[in-house]
Structure 1
Amino acid sequence: MKQSFGEKLKALFSKGNSINEDFFEELTDMLVEGDIGAKTAFEIVDQLESICNKEKIRDQEGIIAKLKELLLADVKPLSLEPEKGRQNVWMMLGVNGVGKTTSAAKLAKYFKGRGVENIVLASADTFRAAAIEQLALHGERLGVRVVSHQHGSDPSAVVFDAADALRAAGPGLVIADTAGRLHNKENLVRELQKIDRTCSLKADEGCYKKILVIDATTGQNALRQAEVFNEAVKIDAIIMTKYDSTAKGGVAVSIGRELGLPVAFVCTGEGYDNIQTFDAQSYINDFLSM
């Protein structure tokens, strides 16, 4: 089984190494292996080495405390709630296979439980027939209305109709599932920008959010995905799925430092209730196995 970053960190200290250049080099390698990108890892360890030398910190407890501080500075949590009494439209983004459709359903269940009366799921991933069926099934199970068109239809039209359906029912939240075909980046970007314009028109001012779903276990791939989607439509928040993995990745640190993107939720399993708000302290404590 793959060792977690925390286990490797404990092993590094138990070697009885002197706190010198070699120690910090090894720590950099470990951070890179822990899914924190090379650029971010080098910057963090440079800062850490400088602080430890300046403040004469040489003990395990002191070094880990300073490392935690530095990592926390890059992790950005965000509280995400639909605005009461207004028309909210949230677009779900992400490549196929990250758990985007399931995350849309989890959000619907989460906010339904928090008193949001009117929720509409929009099946705007019209490219993948299975996505339409999957969302319809989620809606049925959750007692949430789903608006869909036939396979291959215009995703923007689906969002348009879903927003109209919500408007007729009263204030609430549209959660739009979208396609994520990254291998054809140009078409994807064009399609997303079109949906983006529709969402923007259909939401009340300040009530439109773009949420990127990433798989926490894919490390630097997730960072690349965040770059592409952020470039296309300017992301507001991240949902990390598969956070129940034993090797908890440090990708939120890279995404926070390099792109300034905050994390709103983490998903810890397949069930509808396996979603929780993101807590930066817990995340870093998990990563460091504290």
Structure 2
Amino acid sequence: MPDDDGEQRPDSPGGSEIGPVARRYLDAVRTSAEADLGHELPDGTTVVPAPDRQGSRSAVCYPLHRSTVVWCAPERAHLLEIVRSDRAATSERFTRTMLDAGATSPSRGHDRVLERADRPVGPTPSGARRLDPGRPGDRELVAALAARCPADDLDEAELDPDHLDPHIAGVEAPGGDGALAAVAYAQPWVHDPVLLDIGVICDPAHRRTGAAQRAVTALVLTHDDDHDWLYRCDAENTASDRLAVALGFRLVSEVTSVDVTTIAEQPGSDGSIADPSGR
């Protein structure tokens, strides 16, 4: 759905119907925002101070269908007045406005969901199996894989071998010693526990072999149908993004964030922060 600038909104690509899982995602974000606001989310762009974001330096923008939610720490809300509008801002417009105002460290993420009609079918991929986070042998295999991966990869994937997510599957590396080439794992999403938020990590020696894709496929195939699947990644992580697309995950929202603590406080006549761009 284009916004007033003719830009395509990511939650309705090509004007197509929004699927049930995408709708669940959008409704979950809306419900969380309304819980923080204490009232119904209006159309347009709304700044949502959230108690659980106390101390955060970032403002995070979620474009929905007719609304855009901008979450922030309560003490930073006054810095976001320039984005309040009766128009639902795109991620691009939000980022541009905030950078013009002096915000820094922009980041952009792709949130994708797997509609049930797009789920993989067939047997679990060869060499892949469900892992048991409570089984010492499986924990050791995951810890050994993590030790072979760069620290930055572990941070981005949010993998903690000492506290494994409840849903996890792995793909064995060639060689027959049981070592893992890749693991995919998931935990209930903060906005809706029915949506399982997927992470994946692959041994650098086994990249571009399809191991990560097989791990995610095994994760979906070896778990029950009581949940739906969410795949979030940094938009600049093109390999991870391509993996999600190849598996049938559909873009539902482009989520952006900026560091707002670098904005100079310049009160306007109404007490809001003046927009240096003149908009």
Alignment TM-score, normalising by the size of structure 2: 0.29
Alignment TM-score, normalising by the size of structure 1: 0.28
- Structure with the higher fraction of residues in helix conformation: 1
